[in-house]
């Protein structure tokens, strides 16, 4: 985490990744997200996107961003990967 906190380029890249992820989730209907994983918090990444996209003056709390990157993003992407693999036709 320390290397993340002192590296502005890395911070901007992570912010952009989370913004894009939240924006993509906003395009997915709620019933589809619930089919992917009803226990997953899909609202958090979408709200982060809105917050980060419009946070101009005080900046973002990079410790919270780091937590989302290390804990929440992997859970969400794993849920999506499981859903997509289950939907693939068997050979």
Q: pTM score, two decimals?
A: 0.78
Better pLDDT: 52 or 75? 75
Asked if 15 and 52 count as a contact pair (C-beta separation under 8 A), the reply is yes
Q: Inform me whether the pLDDT recorded for 86 exceeds 80.
A: yes
- Interval 37-67: pLDDT, tens: 999 999 988 888 888 888 755 677 888 888 8
Helices (H) and strands (E) in the chain, counts: 6, 0
């Amino acid at each position: 985490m320390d290397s993340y906190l002192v590296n502005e380029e890395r911070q901007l890249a992570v912010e952009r990744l989370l913004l894009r992820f939240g924006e993509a989730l906003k395009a997915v209907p709620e019933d589809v997200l619930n089919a992917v994983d009803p226990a997953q918090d899909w609202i958090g990444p979408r709200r982060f996107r809105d917050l980060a996209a419009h946070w101009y003056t005080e900046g973002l709390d990079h410790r919270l961003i780091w937590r989302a990157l290390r804990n929440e993003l992997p859970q969400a992407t794993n849920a999506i990967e499981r859903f997509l693999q289950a939907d693939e036709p068997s050979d």
